[in-house]
Every structure is written in C-alpha cells, then in structure tokens.
Amino acid sequence: MAAIGENLKINSERLWDSLMEMAKIGPGVAGGNNRQTVTDEDSEGRHLFQDWCKAAGCTMGLDQMGNMFAHRDGTDPDALPIYVGSHLDTQPTGGKYDGVLGVLSGLELLRTMNDLDIKTKHPIVVTNWTNEEGTRYAPAMLSSGVFAGIHTQDWAYDRVDAEGKAFGDELQRIGWRGDEEVGARKMHAFFELHIEQGPILEAEGKQIGVVTHGQGLSWTQVTITGKDAHTGSTPMPMRKNAGLAMARVLNKVEEIALSHAPHAVGAAGHIDVYPNSRNVIPGKVVFTIDFRSPDLAVITDMEACLRVEAQAICDAMGMEIEFEKVGGFDPVAFDETCVQAVRSAAERLGYSHMDLISGAGHDACWINKVAPTAMIMCPCVDGLSHNETEEISQEWAAAGTDVLLHAVLETAIITT
Ligand code: HGY
Ligand code: MN
Ligand code: MN
C-alpha cells in the first residue's frame, strides 16, 4: 500500500469556490441560505452537485428517499465502498456550511484523487442525504433514518409540512424520487465532515474535532388548548390564555435543562400560535420541546419532568394539553477504528485536534447503526450555526477536508 504522505492535501481554493457557488442557490436574506428540503431550490442545488460529480467521472445513484450517491470505482469491485457525505438542505435561516461542507468536501476528495490519479481498493461514494434538517418535515435526519431502518418509507412519505404538503409528493414533484431501494446499499464505512455548530473548537484553538460520540435528542410536540377571546373586553379572571400557559411551560423547560447542567440543553424552536391575531387571546398553541444530553437517562428524566410540570400548569389554568413524541435518538458512540483513522490523520497532517461529543444531530448518527461510522468537525466562528451569519475560515474547511481525505484513503487502501 502506498504510504499516505503528510503533504497530500486537497485543493483548498477549489473547495471554497464550490462552497460559494452552492451558496448562491436558495439565498437567504442575510448572507446565508434558505434551501429547504424538497423545494425547487433544493432541486437546483442537487442538479449542480450532480453535474459536478458527473464531471468528476462519477456514476450517480438515487434512492426512493432522494438520497444521492456519487460513485467512484475502486480496483476491487467486490470491496464494499467507503461512503462520505452529509446534506445540502438548509434551515430557513441557515448558513452556507451546515451540511454543505460535508457533501462538497466529499466531492473535493474525488477531484483530488483524480488530479493525483490515486486508486483505492474500495470504491468511494459521496452522499447527499435528503432532509437532514427536519425543519419543513420533522423529524431531523429523516432519510438517513429510513436508510438505517429507523423509519418506514411510507411513514416518511406521509410527513406533511405546515401547508399540508406530503414529503413523498414534494419529492416526486421536484423530480428527485429515485428507484433504488432505500438501505439496500452496504457500506464498508461512513465518514462525515461537519462544522461543529458550537464554540468548543474555536475556544480551545483546535483545527479538528475527533468526534467520539453524539449527544441524544428528544422532540416532544405539545398542544395546549384554551379559548379564543377578545383581548380588550374579556376580564382577566375569565381568560383561558394558551399563550400564557405556554410561556409558563417554556420557563419550566429552561429550569429542567439547567437542573441537569452542564451538559443538558432544552428549548422550543418551533412555536405556532392560533389564531395569531393581535386582538385575540390565543386559544391554541402548538410547540416542540427540543431536549438533548449525552446521557440517555437525563433525556428520559427531562421528558418525564416536562410532562408532569406542563400537565400541572394546564390543570391549574383549566386548559387541555397533549404530548406527542415527534423525533429523537439515543446518544451515539462512533466506531473506534474509524475514529482512530480520523485522529491519526489529524496527527499525520499536524493539525491541532481534540476529542469531541457532537452537540448537534447528524446523518452519521443514524448511519452508525448500519456501518462503522465516524465524524470530523471543524470550528465555526463564535460557535454560531442555524443562523445566516454562520461562518468558517477557508483554512478550517481545508484542514477538515484534508483529514477526511487521509482517513478515507487509510480505510479505502491505496493501490498502485
Ligand atoms: O437538529 C440537529 O441537531 C441537526 O442540525 N438537524
Ligand atoms: Mn447539519
Ligand atoms: Mn443543521
């Protein structure tokens, strides 16, 4: 096996140009992106990615959840491929790098290997997982979840957005519903490069996060029913203000998370108020509580506390409350061999690095159930993400992609 020299690096300018080119598709209003899943903008980004992959000599695969696979042959057709990748869909006020870096770093790997005529025993496949964000269609990581056997395809197809449009219909409408059976593909390993979306690497002055674990996630959708009434003529004691009940519940969410400091977190990012009129007391609110922790017992305890406390608040206020679990996954331990390939790649390249637990969820968290998986993280400015001003440096992007290249080549086995 040819040794992987520490001077083997990707083309940083080309990677950065591709990131900036993709960022032009589905622009936001403040410098980021709004390229939500199975929208026309998502389709446009998919076409650009596909065109680039074909120009790099890949053959393209597409499964029934719209997951895209760009295949580069290995020298041993019987060897299972090494997969890399992430997601091209964004939040409504997303950044230019969340997910996109993981997909386009995979493409840059193939471009670099083509430049240097590097051959590997195992084929290499670059993946774009559909609907990682879970913002238009809950839950997050929907399609990697179907691939890993967590969700059925029918259940996924029936997810509806705020306008009542079904996921499967929208995937069909944009023309990216493939024929491949979801999950039929077998992997030798999966590596995902992703921005940290938190402050640790930047604060510690590290270029690379060697992700050993991912924290678990729980999404509980809460519906509180009070009574619509006039904000002016309804005496205070007569009101059944669902918005007020929600405010008291959200205050409890903060207390519950803080009671499990320092690692637990909790918030509600999704809130719908009905009828959402300036002079009507809200008769109904629907909101989703997002609890996370590296410890499953803590997540379970926070979920239980939420139900008890929220029920007590609504009982005292004479309102109805319903709970529905709409997403979640247990904390994840990534594959030690793959994690070591990442760590030794960072060491070989001389990049500062540290072990890290991922605060955000990623497709790798589900793929870890069906293949040896590891993640690489790069810092992001002020740890900010899911914000249009999300920013990384070209150097950080290149260092992360260099580590991805070396970890993949070590695993895919260079041949002459
Ligand atoms: O929710 C998450 O952690 C991911 O960004 N979808
Ligand atoms: Mn992401
Ligand atoms: Mn995200």
Q: Ligand 3: distance of its center to the CA of 92 in Å? A: 10
Atom of ligand 1 nearest to the CA of 197: 5
- For residue 301, count other CB atoms closer than 10 A to its CB: 17
* Closest-approaching ligand to the CA atom of 194: 2
Atom of ligand 1 nearest to the CA of 386: 5
pLDDT value of position 258? 98
Q: Ligand 3: distance of its center to the CA of 141 in Å? A: 10
- For residue 57, count other CB atoms closer than 10 A to its CB: 14
How far, in Å, are 9, 150, 313, 368, 402 from residue 109 at the CA level? Answer: 9, 29, 54, 21, 8
Residues 7-34 as b/e (b if ≥16 CB within 10 A, e otherwise) read ebebebeebbebbeebbebbebeeebbb
In angstroms, the CA 104 to CA 222 distance is 37
In angstroms, the CA 139 to CA 266 distance is 17
Write the pLDDT tens digit of every residue in 211-220: 999 999 999 9
Residue 19 has pLDDT above 80, yes or no: yes
pLDDT value of position 151? 98
In angstroms, the CA 372 to CA 374 distance is 7
Atom 4, ligand 1: which residue's CA is nearest? Answer: 361
- Strand (E) positions, 82-121? 82-86, 119-120
* Closest-approaching ligand to the CA atom of 361: 1
Atom 2, ligand 1: which residue's CA is nearest? Answer: 361
**Spatial contact of 280 and 228, defined as CB atoms under 8 Å apart:** yes
pLDDT value of position 320? 98
pTM: 0.94
Give yes or no for residue 134 CB within 6 A of ligand 1: yes
In angstroms, the CA 228 to CA 113 distance is 63
- Amino acid (one-letter) located at 148: A
Q: Which residues contact 387 (CB under 8 A, 6 or more apart)?
A: 32, 93, 95
Mean pLDDT, to the nearest integer, of 349-354? 97
Site to probe by mutation for ligand 1, drawn from 132, 142, 363, 365 as the one with most ligand atoms within 8 Å of Cβ, is 132
DSSP class of residue 94? B
Give yes or no for residue 140 CB within 6 A of ligand 1: yes
In angstroms, the CA 208 to CA 194 distance is 10
Residues 372-392 as b/e (b if ≥16 CB within 10 A, e otherwise) read bbbbbbbbbeebbbbbbebbb
Give yes or no for residue 349 CB within 6 A of ligand 1: no
Average pLDDT in the chain: 97
* Closest-approaching ligand to the CA atom of 88: 2
**Spatial contact of 325 and 219, defined as CB atoms under 8 Å apart:** yes
In angstroms, the CA 66 to CA 227 distance is 42
Residue 416 has pLDDT above 90, yes or no: no
Write the pLDDT tens digit of every residue in 27-73: 999 999 999 999 999 999 999 999 999 999 999 999 999 999 999 99
Atom of ligand 1 nearest to the CA of 290: 1
Write the pLDDT tens digit of every residue in 353-398: 999 999 999 999 999 999 999 999 999 999 999 999 999 999 999 9
Q: Which residues contact 90 (CB under 8 A, 6 or more apart)?
A: 26, 32, 33, 34, 35, 36, 98, 99, 100, 133
pLDDT value of position 5? 73
Q: Ligand 3: distance of its center to the CA of 2 in Å? A: 37
Give yes or no for residue 327 CB within 6 A of ligand 1: no
Give yes or no for residue 268 CB within 6 A of ligand 1: no
* Closest-approaching ligand to the CA atom of 131: 1
Give yes or no for residue 249 CB within 6 A of ligand 1: no
SS3 37: coil
Atom of ligand 1 nearest to the CA of 361: 3
Give yes or no for residue 95 CB within 6 A of ligand 1: no
In angstroms, the CA 251 to CA 256 distance is 9
